[in-house]
Amino acid sequence: MSSETPTVGVLALQGDVREHLAALTSGGARAVPVRRERELDDVDGLVLPGGESTTIDRLLRTFELREPLRERIAQGLPVYGSCAGMILLADRVLDGAPDQRTLGGLDITVRRNAFGRQVVSWEEDLPVEGVTGDGARVRAVFIRAPWVEEAGEDVRVLARVGSGPAAGRIVAVRSGDLLATSFHPEITGDDRVHRYFVELVRQRLRGREHEERRV
């Protein structure tokens, strides 16, 4: 639990787990896959990977992870959701499957498959607030991705699509220690979004150590 090298899990039920583990390691974390409830106890933060949100939703119930995970999120576990992971973090989903549920926590409404159903549905270099400085951009790859249709008052918009038919749509948000992107930074070999998340986890841990010392 060293706050310099926090332990960050990747929910490993389905999706591009390996890529997230690599990006987190490169971003400064000790990265571990999480499949069981007890593995959840050991992490300081968690990534919900891209994949298929309906499948991950079903597997969360099968592996009896849904309720423990909801509880940890309610207690303030930092979580980063990418694509399907963003859907899982959203309080509300449009165009979801009939019995689809989310973990929730983020006061956003997402539209599933908003960019269309092609394998790569959109690609663009985007500035992401807090992640890129001084005119820098992140290669944002959208794969059957959701966008954020509505964001609550306490949600900070970090990025919007810059051009094309989806111009202006919200694709990266943060609320407290919950972070979500519609795109997949883990597949481009760019660790800046993961580095940003690992730093958020570090700050959370430092805050907690500070509180513990004061008690």
Among 172, 165, 164, 124, which Cα is nearest to 146's? 172
Q: How far is the CB of 52 from ligand GLN (least distance, A)?
A: 5
Q: By CB under 6 A, is residue 89 in contact with ligand GLN?
A: no
User: Residue holding tokens 């951009």?
Assistant: 137
The single residue listed with the structure tokens 């481009």 is 188
Please, what is the end-to-end C-alpha distance for the chain in angstroms? 19
Clarify whether 83 is annotated catalytic.
yes
Both tokens of 66, joined, read: 């849904």
The residue (of 24 and 84) whose beta carbon lies closer to ligand GLN is 84
Range list of H helices, 65-146 = 66-74, 84-89
Nearer to ligand GLN, 58 or 202 (CB): 58
Which of residues 66, 112, 202, 204 is near ligand GLN by CB under 6 A? 112
- Residue 212 catalytic? no
- The C-alpha atoms of residue 134 and residue 130 are separated, in whole angstroms, by 11
Q: Is 106 helix (H, G, I), strand (E, B) or coil?
A: strand
Catalytic, out of 20, 83, 124, 194: 83
Give the integer Cα–Cα distance in Å for 146 and 155.
17
Identify whether 210 is a catalytic site residue.
Answer: no
Taking CB under 6 A as the criterion, the residue among 87, 89, 108, 178 binding ligand GLN is 87
Q: Which of the stretches 27-35, 80-88, 124-132, 133-141 binds ligand GLN when contact is defined by CB under 6 A?
A: 80-88
By CB under 6 A, what part of segment 121-150 binds ligand GLN? 143-144
166 versus 205: smaller Cβ distance to ligand GLN: 166
Which DSSP helix (H) or strand (E) runs through 178? Answer: strand 178-181
Among 52, 107, 149, 199, binds ligand GLN (CB under 6 A): 52
Nearer to ligand GLN by Cβ, of 87 and 173: the residue is: 87
- Residue 204 CA to residue 212 CA, distance in Å, equals 12
Catalytic residue among 186, 199, 209, 210: 186
Q: Are 45 and 80 in contact (CB under 8 A)?
A: yes
Q: Which residues bind ligand GLN (CB under 6 A)?
A: 50-53, 83-84, 87, 112-113, 143-144
Active-site residue list:
83, 184, 186
